[in-house]
Amino acid sequence: MAVLSSGFFIWAAYVSKNENEAFAFRKFLNLGILIFSISFLFILTHNALLISIIVIIFGVAGLVGIFFLLPLEKKGGFVPQRPTGQIDERKTMFSRRELLPGTTEYENFYTSKPQFKKTDDNFRAFPGLLNSRSSQFNAFNFASADASFETIEALYDKVDGSLNPEKVEVDAVQISKYIKAWARKLGALDCGITHLKDYHLYSYGGRRERRDKKYSREHEFAIAFTVEMDKQMVDTAPKAGIVMESGQQYLESGKISIQLAAFIRNLGYQARAHIDGNYEVVCPLVARDAGLGEIGRMGLLMTPKHGPRVRIGVVTANIPLSIDQPGDNFPVIDFCTICKKCADSCPSNAISFEDMEEIDGVLRWQINQEACFTLWCKLGTDCGRCMSVCPYSHENNALHSIVRTGINNNFVFRRIALKMDDVFYGRKPLSKEIPEQLNI
């Protein structure tokens, strides 16, 4: 058993080295060597009692480890709640940053909503996203990120289009399976389907030509999927690597959305893609209801295998589809309740340390979007520290899959796993450097 324990930690060290986790590599390796050395010394003594003691200790530790992976949930749990109202996109930071002093839109907004004027004057005093005067400026990296966002903008008029007049009759179950399989073939991690609800839609559009446009539900279904953000790039947060990766994966999710929507229209059914800068829906809410995860403390979708380290794509459509049911939300909510690692590491103190509160009739967490966005305007990047430090964001490999299984199954293991994550990866992990080939 001691050999197995030692082997496990040495294997964990090997995995950590491949993940570029130098801190965890040293901790796992030292622990593995220590366990092996102590066990070897006991064996050299030829003392039957000592050898028996070490066997019992590691035997009990092994049984305890197995116990922590078994299903064990505390009573009560989390009862999912769904909003009754809608979010006004005009109040979001991305819409507010588009308001230009002296314009009619600017005057109308701050006349009707004067409570936002002071905070918005504050963020406008700083350079802004991808600005050469921001603290994380890197000419090549920022130009790369900007190229991704410019390409996304070039796709805005592709989100909708004409229908094939010859409608193809489809079976809801069969076409749903096909859409999910093709989405994964195009690069999606996971894909789910839900009924489109009123609260999925913004009440009013807030960006560009969609400003002040009132939305109503025109489609019956919503298809949501995720794409993975590269861990190595996310770990550079808040340096330029994070905004490069954000832009790239917004682009990837946008391309997949547009392809899926075009495919559905080719079958003769209405469909619209929702891509960065041109959303009519609140993507995390759609993705949650489609069974892809739960909204965590940091306000992002927490997925089972990649945590918040994803970007979301959505297609709304009127083609007959078979819907998915949300999974068991409690393990994620329970972990986020005790973890608070994102709140500890947030440079803008925008993430709450408190338990969920009832906000607009729904029990949830809410970040301070003004504080968060103001920091973005200083950095020139979308920060991403919360995403990079989240224990759920670790690579999706055998080591972390074991831990995620325990977290999902056992409320006691969640607390132990959190402490272990702090020990092996640090409570406030340091930001990593941008990959050498991109750090010029």
DSSP code string of 56-109: HHHHHHHHHHHHHHS-B--SS-------SS---GGGSHHHHHT--TTSHHHHHH
CA distance 390 to 303: 12
H or E stretch including 357?
strand 357-359
CA torsion through residues 374, 378, 381, 383, sign: negative
Burial level of 203, CB count in 10 A (0-12/13-18/19+)? Answer: middle
d(CA 234, CA 431): 9
**Taking the CA atoms of the chain, what radius of gyration do you get in angstroms?**
24
CB 327 within 8 A of CB 192: no
First to last CA, the chain: 48
Q: What is the pLDDT of residue 77?
A: 65
- Give residue 82's pLDDT: 83
Specify the pLDDT at position 2: 57
Mean pLDDT, consecutive 10-residue stretches, the chain (440 aa), reads: 74 93 92 78 63 60 62 68 90 96 95 96 97 97 98 97 96 98 97 97 95 96 98 97 98 98 98 97 97 96 95 98 87 94 97 92 93 98 98 95 90 92 95 90
CA 403/CA 409 separation, integer angstroms: 10
pLDDT for position 248: 98
What per-residue confidence (pLDDT) applies to 38? 73
Pairing of strands 271-274, 310-317: antiparallel
d(CA 181, CA 220): 21
State the pLDDT at residue 56.
Answer: 61
pTM: 0.92
What are the residues facing 201 on neighbouring strands?
281
Round to whole Å and give the CA distance between 293 and 373.
24
The length of the chain, given as a count of residues: 440
How far is the C-alpha of 98 from the C-alpha of 87, rounded, in Å?
A: 18
What is the distance between the alpha carbons of residues 250 and 283, in angstroms, rounded to a whole number? 12
Domain locations in the chain?
1-69, 133-367+376-387
The CB-side HSE value for 294 (13 A sphere, CA atoms) comes to 24
